């Protein structure tokens, strides 16, 4: 598992998730492992259903306790979050690790002003007066680039545009100055121009405050612009983990290469829009060995064996039997 120069802020080891269903236990993710250094910005990519969201929710222990069974280690700041009591976990959530989602409207309460909601996110963790909570909320709105924050503070969520609401969510997520922010497709519901503004905002806030970022997205272009490292998930497993510059030019897993070749910039240059044939196997029909095998143009005898992540270059790991011998196209050649 690659680590940055600093001691990791977060070290996830052998994280496996299954859901209890009427038909028995359904495995979803398997032996997920990665680490995040303080202040690092990491893109978590993969097609729909690969397990990105459930991995983010597992880190914060936000999955339904009655049906989700999570095993492994989630060591954050030296403490395994899976071993914390529910009360201590609530103290970590929002204060040390925050998460924002795709649809800000569903995360905001329509009957309270945005100022009250941001202030409350702070007052849950720090005992300050209402007046100080409000001052902090106004400051937080200013930080995320909302004009006239004193006035906006007293407005209700429905009075704001989608982009403004997502800025409010970011203000709420960052008001306690968490060490880690998990952003799950935070721009998908927004117009293209607003998407770019929110992505820029997340990057600049992370740079300024030192908050590490896990950016869950389908958009590898956003990862290239925002993050320093990229983790690819496929069918519930991490299949590649590498510095962005390295993986863009020289991906080592055929799946990452396929995702990169579907990037519009590259396709335009080559005059083709490549996409990966086939689809992600469903959790109840996972093939043995390499899970990408049925879709892989490079599959060979031996690929049906179980494959661990292996180091292929400095800070670059891949889960592919042929990782060192294949010369795979990236987005920048």
Ligand X SMILES: Nc1ncnc2c1ncn2[C@@H]1O[C@H](COP(=O)(O)OP(=O)(O)OP(=O)(O)O)[C@@H](O)[C@H]1O
Contact residues for ligand X, defined by CB under 6 A:
19, 28, 46, 48-54, 218, 283
Q: Which of 321, 304, 299, 332 is nearest to 252 (CA)?
A: 321
We find the least distance from the C-beta atom of residue 273 to ligand X, in angstroms, to be 20
CA distance 211 to 37: 10
DSSP string of 46-71, one letter each residue: -STTSSHHHHHHHHTT-S-TTTEEEE
232 binds ligand SF4 (CB under 6 A): no
Q: Nearer to ligand SF4 by C-beta: 45 or 214? A: 45
Beta-sheet pairing, 41-45 with 229-234 = parallel
Would you say 165 and 108 are in contact if contact means Cβ atoms under 8 Å apart?
A: yes
- Looking at residue 8, the DSSP 8-state letter turns out to be P
We find the least distance from the C-beta atom of residue 62 to ligand X, in angstroms, to be 11
* Coil, helix or strand at residue 14: strand
Residue of closest CB approach to Mg ion: 53
DSSP string of 127-172, one letter each residue: ---HHHHHHHHHHHHHHTT-SSHHHHTTS-GGGS-HHHHHHHHHHH
290 binds ligand SF4 (CB under 6 A): yes
187 binds Mg ion (CB under 5 A): no
Stretch that binds ligand SF4, among 70-78, 105-113, 123-131, 287-295 (CB under 6 A): 287-295
C-alpha separations of 270 from 136, 223, 245 in Å: 50, 21, 20
Residue 285 token pair: 């029909």
Work out which of 298, 310, 311, 315 binds ligand SF4, going by CB under 6 A.
298
293 binds ligand SF4 (CB under 6 A): yes
We find the least distance from the C-beta atom of residue 296 to ligand X, in angstroms, to be 19
Q: Which does 290 bind (CB under 5 to 8 A by kind): ligand X, Mg ion, ligand SF4, none?
A: ligand SF4
We find the least distance from the C-beta atom of residue 127 to ligand X, in angstroms, to be 35
Stretch that binds ligand SF4, among 92-100, 173-181, 210-218, 294-302 (CB under 6 A): 294-302
Beta bridge partners of 27: 18
We find the least distance from the C-beta atom of residue 43 to ligand SF4, in angstroms, to be 20
Work out which of 36, 296, 309, 312 binds ligand SF4, going by CB under 6 A.
296
Binding site for ligand SF4 (CB under 6 A): 253-254, 290, 292-293, 296, 298-299, 303, 307, 320-322
């Amino acid at each position: 598992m690659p680590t940055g120069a600093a001691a990791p802020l977060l070290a996830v080891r052998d994280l496996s998730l299954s859901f209890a269903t009427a038909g028995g236990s359904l495995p979803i993710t398997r032996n997920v492992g990665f680490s995040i250094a303080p202040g690092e910005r990491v893109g978590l990519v993969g097609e729909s259903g690969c397990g990105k969201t459930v991995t983010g929710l597992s880190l914060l222990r936000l999955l339904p306790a009655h049906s989700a069974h999570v095993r492994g280690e989630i060591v954050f700041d030296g403490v395994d979050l899976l071993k914390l009591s529910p009360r201590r976990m609530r103290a970590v959530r929002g204060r040390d690790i925050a998460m924002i989602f795709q649809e800000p409207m569903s995360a905001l309460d329509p009957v309270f002003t945005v100022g009250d909601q941001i202030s409350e996110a702070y007052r849950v963790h720090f005992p300050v007066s209402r007046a100080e909570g409000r001052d902090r909320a106004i400051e937080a709105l200013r930080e995320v680039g909302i004009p006239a924050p004193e006035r906006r503070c007293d407005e209700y969520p429905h009075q704001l545009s989608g982009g403004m609401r997502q800025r409010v969510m970011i203000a709420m997520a960052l008001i306690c100055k968490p060490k880690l922010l998990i952003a799950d497709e935070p721009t998908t519901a927004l117009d293209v121009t607003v998407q770019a503004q929110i992505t820029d905002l997340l990057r600049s806030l992370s740079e300024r405050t030192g908050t590490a970022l896990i950016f869950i997205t389908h958009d590898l272009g956003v990862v290239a612009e925002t993050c320093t490292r990229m983790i690819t998930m496929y069918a519930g497993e991490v299949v590649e983990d590498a510095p962005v510059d390295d993986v863009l030019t020289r991906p080592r897993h055929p799946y990452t290469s396929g995702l990169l070749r579907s990037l519009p910039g590259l396709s335009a240059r080559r005059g083709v829009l490549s996409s990966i044939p086939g689809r992600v196997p469903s959790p109840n029909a996972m093939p043995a060995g390499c899970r990408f095998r049925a879709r892989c143009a490079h599959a060979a005898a031996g690929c049906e064996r179980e494959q661990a992540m292996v180091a292929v270059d400095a800070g670059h790991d891949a889960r592919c039997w042929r990782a060192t011998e294949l010369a795979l196209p990236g987005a920048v050649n």
